Structure 1
Amino acid sequence: MDAANPSSLALDVSANPNAPADAVRVARPSGPARPIVFASPHSGRHYTSEMQSLTCLTLDQLRRSEDAYVDTLIASAPEFGAHLVTAQFPRVFVDPNRGPWELDPGMFSDRLPDQTAPVSRRAASGLGVVPRIGVEGRALYRRRLRYAEARSRIERFYEPYHATLEGLLSGLRGTHGFVLAIDMHSMPDASARGVDFVLGDRFGSSCDPRVTDRVEAVLRDQGYVTVRNIPYAGGYTTEHYGRPADGVHVIQIEINRSLYLDEARVAMAPGFPGFEAEMRKIVRELTHTDWSACVPA
């Protein structure tokens, strides 16, 4: 991670012996843990030789699909008592914000197992768990993949990420009776011009409205423009884990990249340090909020 202290990061130990040791990183609070997990599934920038040998895009083109440096923006979370989970692999290689069955049969040279059918809308559009397209709809691969290649990626990268996230949510929920996962992303400026943050709670189904209200208030108190669920209501993580009636709340936050990034170059903009300081304040406010009202009776 670019701006974080590597010594503060503990590598997750996956149950899968074939998973790369650095597929997922967990930064754990040094003191008592609050019932908050920040996650960054799309900021990974470790491009393997396997990926680069298969793709017809340049590394610069591949990187434009990243939620670049979101992990850096929220690196302060453990300092304030929250866990931080980051995928180190890029989303164009395997996307942890999709279901493991979301595959596009048209990108494979062999038949997919029955459990991958029917094809989801996201997979059909080329944005499944193993994406077919990258930025601007450009094809990623020189050839069709074999299903075994996709299955290997899911087992080595996707499954360790979700095993880590699920384990943290379950443990914190058991200890506190409540847990909040904040799934952090970034969005192109063109996708929501004039909006700084989009909050996705699946139209109220993935977290208690009081949680969304509080998150929105923190952002607006800092002077930012927010909207809810349009154009991003949340992906697999909010759909799969959000169970507010059971005390598990999940909200997706999309940050407008124009606030901190040179989108064309996928480089930190001159204003990055100032915005990083603003994000530090936001992370602190969210971790220090009293969420006890949202604990199920």
Structure 2
Amino acid sequence: MNEFPAGKNPGQDGGTNSGELLELAVRVAREAAATARRMRAEAIDDVETKSTATDVVTAADKAVERQVVEALRAMRPGDGILGEEYGSSEEPLPGAVRWILDPIDGTVNYLYGLPQYAVSLAAEVDGAVVAGVVVNAATGDEWTATLGGGAWRGDRRLSGSTPSGLGQSLVGTGFGYDARRREHQGRVLAGLITQVRDIRRFGAAALDLCAVAEGMLDGYYEKGLNPWDWAAGGLVATEAGVVVAGLNGAAPGAEMLVAASPAVFGPLHDALAALDAAGGA
């Protein structure tokens, strides 16, 4: 990733050039990841819950989001921001940029010290994500993409995997926090696991999508994702040639997101549809 020209912040004029937006996103996300790492090393305190007793949010989530919001507003005050903790959900004006932020994707991993949590930041224009970065804050690994510009891990362009079929596929998933939803998701998992090579559950949707883009997973599915969970990772996957969609022609979203290499997407989609993966609570 190129350094910023002296005396100029990329995108500070309010433009929508995807390359400039990505440069800004990378810088801000790297700084946010450093804050998350530092706070994890110092202490985990002020743990609260959100939707259920198992849905945790830490002081670091809030601090990291405030840092990113302040940085973006200082450099691009006219942009909108949709964040998990504080960002406004107001729809932006036509042609304007909206940033979609997950300050710490994988908060439970963060809480337990598992090295699978990320800062995810995407730039959206007129409903389309045009630039995105996912930084594994624990390891410093970084995935980037621009619309039409490909997906990258560092200097290596990503192109997904090429499994021979669903039966030879390693598939990732995630679970909701509501017990009723988990019960349904458990039944779906029990029906799917006999049809695939194996299942993995890493606990951070953005990183799961980047794993599919890189070929570390052949597919991934989950119900209940929010825009900040998959905006940047979804672009990385799509630009790597991965199919990202919902079930039965629906767009990816809260009802279901399925991401898989083209050879696997069809049979994985059909298996999930037959198991009513989008159903339940």
* TM-score of the alignment, normalized to the shorter chain, above 0.5: no
Give TM-score, length-normalised by structure 1.
0.28
Relative to total residues, which structure has the larger strand share, 1 or 2?
2
Give TM-score, length-normalised by structure 2.
0.29
